[in-house]
Amino acid sequence: MTQSILLGMLGTTEIIIIAAIILLLFGGSKLPKLMKGLGQGMNEFKKGMKEGDTSVDSGKESNDDKK
């Protein structure tokens, strides 16, 4: 939800300017490594969120068993 709000506030011009600044700061050679690391981090975060959901769900089941 936060991501859609943030992207809704940024126009095409702003996104291009941000991309150009990032390219100038890190250079073209480091950019693929940065994006790969970002993608891996996002995948790990999503995997952790899914594991957290399953552990919360299993926790609810075990609490129901105690009653």
Better-predicted residue by pLDDT, 66 or 58: 58
Q: Do residues 28 and 36 make contact, with C-beta atoms less than 8 angstroms apart?
A: no
> Considering the entire predicted model, what is its pTM?
0.49
Domain segments of the chain as ranges: 2-66
* pLDDT score of 28: 84
SS3 content of the chain, % helix, strand, coil (to 5): 95, 0, 5
Please measure the distance between the N-terminal and C-terminal CA atoms of the chain and give it in whole angstroms.
36
Using a pLDDT cut of 90, give the percent of the chain over it: 22
* Encoded tokens for 63: 């609490």
Which of the residue ranges 29-33, 41-45, 60-64 would you say has the lowest mean pLDDT?
60-64
What letter does residue 1 receive in the DSSP assignment?
-
* pLDDT score of 2: 56
